[in-house]
């Protein structure tokens, strides 16, 4: 397991590529543990619970590809 250079103090572990940079962490503030994901370029945060994460795992490939298209939501004015 890699540690160190991918963990930013105060932000958490960072997952990045040439297209995105996000931090991931566990949020214990709600009724159950959720995954906290923050877009480091915009500061936008999303919390996903276990059911939402499982839904991502079970998405058919075409649906995931549609979600990854930045023109569908990210670039709308």
- Output 46 or 76, whichever has higher pLDDT: 46
Residue 39's CB is within 10 A of a number of other CB atoms, namely 14
The pLDDT-based confidence of 75 (bands split at 50, 70, 90) is: low
Which of 15, 49, 12 lies closest to 29 in space, CA to CA? Answer: 49
Please answer whether residues 38 and 23 qualify as being in contact, where contact means their C-beta atoms are separated by less than 8 angstroms: yes
- Output 32 or 62, whichever has higher pLDDT: 32
pLDDT in tens, 19-54: 889 999 999 998 899 999 999 999 999 999 999 999
Q: Name 66's bridge partners.
A: none
Q: Where are the domains of the chain?
A: 7-70
With vertex at residue 71, the alpha carbon angle to CA 65 and CA 57, rounded to the nearest 5 degrees, is 25
Please answer whether residues 44 and 36 qualify as being in contact, where contact means their C-beta atoms are separated by less than 8 angstroms: no
Decide if pLDDT at 71 tops 50: yes
What was the pLDDT predicted at 48?
96
């Amino acid at each position: 397991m890699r540690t160190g250079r991918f963990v930013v103090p105060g932000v958490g572990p960072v997952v990045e590529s040439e297209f995105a940079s996000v931090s991931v962490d566990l949020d214990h503030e709600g009724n159950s543990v959720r995954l906290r994901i923050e877009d480091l370029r915009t500061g936008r945060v999303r919390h996903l619970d276990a059911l939402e994460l499982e839904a991502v795992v079970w998405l058919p490939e075409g649906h995931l590809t549609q979600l990854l298209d930045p023109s569908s939501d990210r670039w709308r004015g």
